[in-house]
Structure 1
Amino acid sequence: MYAPAEHDEVTGLANYVDSQLDAIAAAATGLTEEQARETPLRSGLSIGGIAKHITAIVRTAPGRIRDGAPTEEITADQIAAHEAQFVVGPEETTAGILAELAAARGELREAILASDPDQPTHDAPAPWFGIFDARPIRQRFYLVHLIEEIARHAGHADIIREQLDGVQVPSLELRAAGVPANEFIGDYQPAPGTIGA
Structure 2
Amino acid sequence: MPTASRRTDAPPPRTANNEPDVLRGFLDYLRVSIAAKVEGAAEPGARTAAVPSGTNLLGLLSHLIAVESATFLGERVTDWQATFRPAARDSVADVVARYRETVDRANKVLDTCTDLGEPLRRPGRPGPAPSVRWALTHMIEETGRHAGHADILRELLDGGTGR
**TM-score, with length taken from structure 2:** 0.76
Percentage identity across aligned positions? 27
Instruction: Quote the offset at 1:38 in angstroms.
Output: 1.5
The residue type equivalent to 2:145 in the other structure is R
User: Does 2:150 match 1:157?
Assistant: yes
Question: Would the aligned equivalents of 1:13 and 1:143 in 2 still touch at CA under 8 Å?
Answer: yes
Give the alignment's Cα RMSD to 1 decimal. 2.5
In structure 2, what is the Cα distance between the partners aligned to 1:50 and 1:15? Answer: 21
Measured against aligned partners, the alpha-carbon deviations of 1:52-95 in whole angstroms (never above 9, x if no partner) come to: 1111222233234xxxx98xxxxxx92xx211111122222221
Question: Would the aligned equivalents of 1:88 and 1:94 in 2 still touch at CA under 8 Å?
Answer: no
Question: Would the aligned equivalents of 1:117 and 1:138 in 2 still touch at CA under 8 Å?
Answer: yes
The structure-2 alpha-carbon separation of the partners of 1:82 and 1:136, relative to structure 1 and needing over 3 Å to count, comes to closer
SS at match of 1:90: coil
Question: Would the aligned equivalents of 2:33 and 2:147 in 1 still touch at CA under 8 Å?
Answer: yes
Question: Would the aligned equivalents of 1:11 and 1:113 in 2 still touch at CA under 8 Å?
Answer: no
User: Does 2:118 match 1:119?
Assistant: yes
The residue type equivalent to 2:108 in the other structure is E
In structure 1, what is the Cα distance between the partners aligned to 2:80 and 2:86? Answer: 13
Match of 1:58 in 2: 68
4+ residue runs over 4 A deviation? 134-137
In structure 2, what is the Cα distance between the partners aligned to 1:44 and 1:142? Answer: 27
In structure 2, what is the Cα distance between the partners aligned to 1:39 and 1:7? Answer: 40
Match of 2:18 in 1: 8
Match of 2:124 in 1: none
In structure 1, what is the Cα distance between the partners aligned to 2:98 and 2:119? Answer: 31
Question: Which runs of 5 or more structure 1 residues have no equivalent in the other structure?
Answer: 71-76, 122-133, 171-197
The structure-2 alpha-carbon separation of the partners of 1:48 and 1:8, relative to structure 1 and needing over 3 Å to count, comes to same
Match of 2:94 in 1: 96
Superposition map of 1:158-177 within 5 A: 158-170=151-163
SS at match of 1:33: coil
Based on CA coordinates, which of the two structures has the bigger radius of gyration?
1
In structure 1, what is the Cα distance between the partners aligned to 2:32 and 2:82? Answer: 23
Match of 1:148 in 2: 141
Match of 2:42 in 1: 32
In structure 2, what is the Cα distance between the partners aligned to 1:169 and 1:160? Answer: 12
Instruction: Quote the offset at 1:137 in angstroms.
Output: 5.4
Question: Which runs of 5 or more structure 2 residues have no equivalent in the other structure?
Answer: 1-9, 121-126
In structure 2, what is the Cα distance between the partners aligned to 1:34 and 1:104? Answer: 24
The residue type equivalent to 1:154 in the other structure is A
